[in-house]
Amino acid sequence: MRKRLWAWLLAGFLLVAALTLYQAERTGRSESAADSCPESALECPGQEKPLPLPVPTAAPTDSPSAPVGPSPSATPATSATPSPTPPPPGSSAPPAPGPGCDAASPGACGFPDARSTGPRIALERHDTGNMSVKTDGMVIRGWDIRGSLDVYADNVTIIDSRITSTNWWGVNLRPGFKGLRVLHTTITALPGKGPDNGGVNYAVSNMGESSVEVGWCDVSVFGNALSMGQGNLHDNYVHDIVAFRNLGGEWQHTDAVISGGGNKGRLTVRHNTLLNSVPVDKGASAALGLFADTGVVSNVVVDDNWLAGGAYALYGGGPGATGIQVTDNVFSTQYHPHSGLYGAVAAWNAGGAGNVWRGNRMSDGRPVVPEPSP
């Protein structure tokens, strides 16, 4: 009897050891798969949300100052559960209409909305105020920022964060600096609390002469939301711009994307949802405004975007504009029967060298053909 009992105990011990070894081996494989998950993935099966990276200390500014730039309301959006990874920038194929795809549903039509933009991880609150970033290569990740970021450094990355500003801007790159990237971030403001007579002007402003990347961001409230002459703007959702009277007492001109011309690099605007619901009599200019305010407009790609609102949904650069490629965009009738109040497009220079107009259509499928410029 005693030998039989020892035999049973030995068998049980061996079984427990075998199960332990199997579990360790299986767990090791799972962690290896999670470690190989790319940074750009929206979700990684089996991987827990990463913790925010440590960020070097930056000094707060004493007081905000307005950036130099072209100057031709809603509640801040909250982050939603992310959808599967959006199409990578570079694809110009029009999305296939699906169930529920209509003029007021860019997300159902394959374009960015609240589900595919903004932070993908839990955030930690940081009451920064108006903070100057002066450390090259700084990474700000997982921050819920109450304030704004004024960048005096190269290769700064802001990712998986939220910025709620009462400054002129949410993020501003100063002249002489380069390499700014703003990814998977919500950028909004508090209407009535900004320095421009209660208004706020630029969600992301590029005052430099190098490219800025803004991707998978949820942007709202700011009057001229994405303001730059060169950059890579892709997979963003710009919406709920708020009308306000500026310090001069006039209605501030509003645009989801604005460029003032005179750029030395390329501006690429690809696969964004750009909405301007502000009434024209309260300052709306365009969903995407390419204006020759500070020089000739050149070298711009506008591809596979969803555009709606403004006096015209798109201002195409005007006389002298060259190298403007406008392809496979959808002009939505969400706010006006012709996308903009007066039409889909104005100031298109059909005879400009390198200018291309191809595959652009209304949300009901009708082709969009620019009228000849006067």
| pLDDT tens, residue by residue, 110-163 | 999 999 999 999 999 999 999 999 999 999 999 999 999 999 999 999 999 999
The pLDDT of residue 259 is above 80:
yes
More confident residue, 186 or 264: 186
Q: What is the pLDDT of residue 371?
A: 85
Residue percentage of the chain with pLDDT more than 90? 69
Cβ atoms 238, 216 nearer than 8 A: no
Task: Round to whole Å and give the CA distance between 211 and 140.
Answer: 19
Residue among 297, 294, 273, 308 at smallest CA distance from 355: 297
Cβ atoms 356, 327 nearer than 8 A: yes
Q: What is the mean pLDDT of residues 349-360?
A: 97
Joined tokens for residue 297: 């407009």
More confident residue, 89 or 27: 89
Mean pLDDT (the chain) is: 81
The pLDDT of residue 19 is above 80:
no
The pLDDT of residue 198 is above 60:
yes
For the stretch 302-331, pLDDT in tens is 999 999 999 999 999 999 999 999 999 999
pLDDT band of residue 12 (cuts 50, 70, 90) is: low
What pTM does this model have?
A: 0.77
The pLDDT of residue 250 is above 60:
yes
- Amino acid at site 130: N
More confident residue, 80 or 314: 314
Q: What is the pLDDT of residue 263?
A: 82
The pLDDT of residue 41 is above 60:
no
Cβ atoms 71, 252 nearer than 8 A: yes
The pLDDT of residue 33 is above 60:
no
Q: What is the mean pLDDT of residues 55-73?
A: 36
Task: Round to whole Å and give the CA distance between 154 and 208.
Answer: 11
The pLDDT of residue 108 is above 50:
yes
